[in-house]
Amino acid sequence: MSTFITTDGTEIYYKDWGDPSAPVVTFSHGWPLSSDAWESQMFHLASNGFRVIAHDRRGHGRSSQPWDGNDMDHYADDLAELLEHLEITDAIMIGHSTGGGEVARYIGRHGTSRVKKVVLMGAVTPIMLKSDANPAGLPIDVFDGLRAGYLADRSQFFLDIASGPFFGFNRPGAKVSQGAIQSWWRQGMLTGHKNAYDSIKAFSETDFTEDLKKIDVPTLILHGDDDQIVPIAGSALLAAKLIPNAELKIYPGGSHALGDTSKDELNADLLAFARA
């Protein structure tokens, strides 16, 4: 397996596919998944002339499970160390959900000297938590409920999310894929118990407003208007106003899992943006 050790001793697993001399696209996954969640998109772009790189976030997948450091600053710094380790410049950075927050925080902390373009898909930016300053957000009770459900029966909790709102399989007429459900559950169960628990706070309460304002490269924001995990009104519609000259594309009826439920359209959109 391809791994490297961060400065705080965390082992990070990553995939590195395609022509080593080709333009680079990096992928940051959502909670509580791993780089496996991006394989369809990675295969498509690598098959069309790109080098694609995706890592398992600390505490997720095949990376190690540190007790501390399960926050956006550490996630962003791990990504920075991966790019340095592989000597990557001019990367097209793609982040989904929590991974979108990771990409935004990376730019907030490390700038865009290694970044050519950005894609935020179903991203948790600018902030998910409702407050007086963010009335479009979700109340803290939602995230407290996630934590309670997780601690009560983590395995069933993951199964319920995958079987329902994540892919939109709870919608009338939805074409349910048991394979997708099982893959999501498997990835979730590979997370460290505390790592995944801590990440709920990280993805819901971190404010990325100032990070988004620092994105000064071409940016594509993709979001499904039926995203039940990260509702579009409190995320993409706001983020598009904070990032200078960002392009927003809304997928009508799209779920949180565009990489699966809108795979062909998403793959085409990502390839077109990468080639532009």
Amino acid code (one letter) for 2: S
CA 130 to chain centre: 20
What's the CA gap between 203 and 220, in Å, rounded? Answer: 20
Phi/psi at 270 (nearest 5 deg)?
A: -65, -40
Assigned token pair, 114: 């290694």
- Which regions of 71-157 does DSSP assign to beta strands (E)? 91-96, 115-121
Catalytic residue among 28, 256, 260, 269: 256
Q: Which residues contact 111 (CB under 8 A, 6 or more apart)?
A: 214
Amino acid code (one letter) for 128: M
Catalytic residue among 34, 35, 97, 262: 97
* 256 noted as active-site residue: yes
* 227 noted as active-site residue: yes
Q: Cis bond leading into 32, ω under 30°?
A: yes
Catalytic residue among 36, 56, 77, 227: 227
Indicate the burial class of 20 (C-beta count within 10 angstroms; 0-12, 13-18, 19 or more). Answer: exposed
Provide the 8-state DSSP code for 138. B
What's the CA gap between 188 and 237, in Å, rounded? Answer: 28
- Which of the residues are catalytic? 97, 227, 256
